[in-house]
Chains A and B, each alone.
Chain A
Amino acid sequence: NAGVTQTPKFQVLKTGQSMTLQCAQDMNHNSMYWYRQDPGMGLRLIYYSASEGTTDKGEVPNGYNVSRLNKREFSLRLESAAPSQTSVYFCASSGDRVGNEQFFGPGTRLTVL
């Protein structure tokens, strides 16, 4: 089992460019999450999906869109990247929304110039 995989591992964008971060899990989990991690800020939830076909905003959704393509895959899109979106992005999955541990992917380090 690969667990949670993310692509790409690193990305550099110019302001205004768009890109999609990909995430997939092979644990048959219902819930999936996108977080960003900035120095000193901990992990902040961008969007989550409690099940296939549903998505909900987290703490910092502005500037992002998500798609829960199927049970395995949950993508995060930046339509017009801004320097404030420079961060490390983690995808995670869990069995249910409440009371189950989250398994994290290795992260994507994104720099917006």
Chain B
Amino acid sequence: QQPVQSPQAVILREGEDAVINCSSSKALYSVHWYRQKHGEAPVFLMILLKGGEQKGHDKISASFNEKKQQSSLYLTASQLSYSGTYFCGTEMAGNQFYFGTGTSLTVIP
């Protein structure tokens, strides 16, 4: 049930781009993306809904392929503040919600 995220970890230099992927084996109603910094609570980034609607951060983009139950988060021109662990969360039938195991992103100067 838990979505699979890839990669598990990535290191970037400032200004570089990254893509984080999230894949589920179940049909999804929506995909959420959150970022968590060490010792803090997760913070909402974006929601992608079935049917194409998106809500969230204006500096981060994402895609949702409903047929493949996959989502990707695109981080462009990365900044030091982008460092943290990124989680996707998947909503599915029966009020089920599962978070992925996370992708650790480190941006270095």
Does B30 contact A98, Cβ atoms closer than 8 Å?
yes
Cα separation A101 to B45 with both chains bound (whole Å): 9
Query: Which residues on the A side are within 8 Å of B2 (C-beta)?
Result: 42
Which residues of chain B in 16-59 are interfacial with respect to chain A, using CB atoms and an 8 Å cutoff?
29-30, 32, 34, 40-44, 47, 49, 55-56
Cα separation A101 to B49 with both chains bound (whole Å): 11
Cα separation A13 to B43 with both chains bound (whole Å): 29
Query: Which residues on the A side are within 8 Å of B100 (C-beta)?
Result: 42
Q: Output the nearest chain B residue to A109 by Cβ-Cβ distance.
A: B39
Query: Which residues on the B side are within 8 Å of A100 (C-beta)?
Result: 47
Number of chain B residues whose Cβ lies closer than 8 Å to a Cβ of chain A: 25
Does A102 contact B1, Cβ atoms closer than 8 Å?
no
Number of chain A residues whose Cβ lies closer than 8 Å to a Cβ of chain B: 25
Known: A43-B87, A59-B1, A106-B40. 10 other contacts (CB 8 A): A35-B99, A42-B101, A42-B102, A48-B97, A99-B91, A101-B55, A102-B89, A103-B44, A104-B41, A104-B42
14 A-B residue pairs with Cβ-Cβ distance under 8 Å, sorted by A, are: A41-B101, A43-B89, A45-B98, A48-B95, A59-B98, A98-B29, A101-B32, A102-B32, A102-B34, A102-B42, A102-B44, A102-B89, A103-B44, A107-B41
| Residues of chain A whose beta carbon lies under 8 Å from any beta carbon of chain B | 33, 35, 40-45, 48, 50, 56, 58-59, 90, 97-107
| Residues of chain B whose beta carbon lies under 8 Å from any beta carbon of chain A | 1-2, 29-30, 32, 34, 40-44, 47, 49, 55-56, 87, 89, 91, 95, 97-102
